Structure 1
Amino acid sequence: MLIVADENIPLLDSFFGDIGEIRRVKGRGLTRHEVEDADVLLVRSVTRVNRELLEGTRVRFVGTATIGTDHVDVEWLKEQGIGFSAAPGCNARSVAEYVLAVISLFADQRDLCDWSDLSVGIVGAGNVGSELARMLERLDFEVKLCDPPRQDAEPENAETFVSLSEVLACDVVTFHTPLTRSGDHPTHHMVSGQQLAELSSEQLLINAGRGEVVDGAALLRRLDQPDAPVVALDVWEQEPAIDPGLVDKVWLATPHIAGYSLEGKMQGTEMVYQVLCRYLGLPIRKKAGQFLPEPALSKMSFTRNAVEDEALRLALSACYDPRKDDLRLRRVMKRAEGERAEAFDRLRRDYPVRRECSSLKIQLKGSSKSLQDRFRAIGFKLKI
């Protein structure tokens, strides 16, 4: 059995090596010729999987080690009897921790003693949005959720959701929707000139979902106007050939890596592996946890004199500081025009190991129950 797989999927040999021969390929620009003799195709979000790519090939199973599926023609695969698996929720905690890290930096910028004074509006209450909401609520933030498709589908929970306008009034507005271009609630350019005009310089806009949800041209115009919002983008229109002018204008710019924790990527591989094993009638013998290496930073200690907010945010930044990714991307954008797209993909391919907060044990000496609860809310392991 031949498995053609995106070279950026971790632990390919560990999970799939005893199932078949593995051929690693570059995911972006994958051609029909590269997959025509494959039995299994494993991809990430940079590969368009459709009739054009697969018709006439031997491929009988497609797995995407990502939470989204807008790059896959799922209906066509179903019509052809081709097995399919995504990895919904695999990196939800990674993206949620990314957003928390960005909010922490924003709170520093505004010199807030208590970052939970900020209200947070979440657009898209799927795996990522729901995980983020749970963490923020346990940290005592005021949270508002906007998800029109869920609101329509769950009339019994209608009061759980608010309108986009209400969310846009929050101090922080963060987007975690799939990319859709049709239906009752399309998300393509959901954020354009009208929505951006409602935001002020006192607000933070985060997009760590899909780049095309935000109209980049409209955002660029808004950032040149007075009282423009503070903007953090992890996803972009036209990836990997993103607009260097927009990178230059936003407050924080990262190269589509919000979900790139080691745990998130490995869980994505594991979820596809499990579905493939069921499809082939094979036993499931492996779990991501058995391959996790020891983290570089394994323990932090705080005494009874620790200030709650400062301690919490210090531990969060020790696990992940988005300013490092911001610097890497800005350096890339200074290169010649013909080099930027490839360099953007290289930032993702060669991304350094980033561990989630669950990898860090926090020792608390004489601390309050409140601080203990807040550390647990983010996912840290505690030693009291």
Structure 2
Amino acid sequence: MVRRKPLVVVTRKLPDSVETRMRELFDAQLNLDDVPMDQAALVEAVRTADVLVPTLTDRIDSAVLSQAGENLRLIASFSNGVDHIDVASALNRGITVTNTPGVLTEDTADMTMALILAVPRRLAEGAQAVIADKDEWLGWSPTWMLGRRIWGKRLGIIGMGRIGQAVARRAKAFGLQIHYHNRRRLPTGIEEMLDATYWDSLDQMLARMDIVSINCPHTPATYHLLSARRLKLLKPEAYVVNTARGEVIDENALTRQLEAGELAGAGLDVFEHEPAVNPKLIRLAKQGKVVLLPHLGSATLEGRVDMGEKVIVNIKTFMDGHRPPDRVLPAML
């Protein structure tokens, strides 16, 4: 008797090599048009699938999970974060949740460092000036489009996990002084290697930093971690960079401070109501006060393929009756 392959529903278009391997191993239902699924489509997917492979754009909440069929036993998310999934509800229904940690660390840290450089040095403004239709750039001038030096400045990293530490390694090479706030202090050996200063109080760290980089996950505890009150603690000369999740910052408060000149600038790769972008942020970007990117932090071909391979390993391991390597539990969030 031929064993039935599990029905694996994939919600978005994945790299060809990943989709091909999924078709070889599973009865994979692919989304070749890459049209995001609405709630009705997600409900149909959880009703029929043995395994659901969502991405961070798919909200798998309790309302969707309440419609899950008896066969759904695994949600193998194509993502590092799992804030789009109600993990507790899934586990209560006997559904295992996995993610793809570790493979995006270097890519996201590269993008973070790019924004740390781009915002103070006004790189986006400069690039636009060169290609503008009007004669905005008339050649080199000793006083035109002056930015700020990053060498010797203090960088405060919020969230010193894999990505935070990778950012610290890069920033140290650029002459930045490394400070960090984390749920738990790093081992002494790692602190010494990074030459990093730990702050138990986030408020005290923020008041002293020249650049703040957000590298923590979005959880109920980190929602608006950079609140209006905390943003007010930053120096007017400070910059904010976020490549984690938009919900960690009170975006309206950040926008108000940028408009009022109470912050020097911001570099954002994520947004609180993604994919919608606050029109005020767009206006600030046109004024050169912020750099906005369309969630490119992990957008490398190598990274996407690595994510897909992790998803496949998690599915194969689970279907073989073993604990998948990247299982997510509520206590981990």
Aligned counterparts, 1:1-384, within 5 A:
1-10=6-15, 11-25=17-31, 26-30=35-39, 31-54=42-65, 55-57=67-69, 58-109=71-122, 111=147, 115-147=150-182, 149-151=183-185, 161-162=198-199, 163-168=201-206, 169-181=208-220, 186-250=221-285, 251-281=290-320
- 1:225 and 1:275, CA in 2 relative to 1: closer, same or farther beyond 3 A? same
Q: Distance in 1 between matches of 2:238 and 2:80?
A: 28
- 1:65 and 1:56, CA in 2 relative to 1: closer, same or farther beyond 3 A? closer
Q: Distance in 2 between matches of 1:79 and 1:128?
A: 30
TM-score by length of 2: 0.74
Q: Distance in 2 between matches of 1:128 and 1:87?
A: 14
Alpha-carbon offset, residue 112 of structure 1: 5.9
Q: Distance in 1 between matches of 2:114 and 2:100?
A: 24
Alpha-carbon offset, residue 139 of structure 1: 4.4
TM-score by length of 1: 0.65
**SS class of match (1:144):** strand
Q: Distance in 2 between matches of 1:111 and 1:213?
A: 27
**SS class of match (2:263):** coil
Q: Distance in 2 between matches of 1:154 and 1:142?
A: 18
- 1:16 and 1:76, CA in 2 relative to 1: closer, same or farther beyond 3 A? same
2:239–2:263 CA contact under 8 A, matched in 1? no
Alpha-carbon offset, residue 34 of structure 1: 3.3
Q: Distance in 1 between matches of 2:148 and 2:270?
A: 27
Aligned residues: 276
Q: Distance in 1 between matches of 2:50 and 2:278?
A: 37
**SS class of match (1:18):** helix
Alpha-carbon offset, residue 146 of structure 1: 0.7
Describe the superposition over 1:93-151 as per-residue Cα deviations: whole angstroms up to 9, x where unpaired. Answer: 111101111222245345567x432321110112211221123234443111111x224
2:80–2:100 CA contact under 8 A, matched in 1? yes
Q: Distance in 2 between matches of 1:98 and 1:235?
A: 12
Q: Distance in 2 between matches of 1:125 and 1:100?
A: 15
Alpha-carbon offset, residue 39 of structure 1: 1.2
**Higher normalized contact order (CA 8 Å, seq sep 6+, divided by chain length):** 2
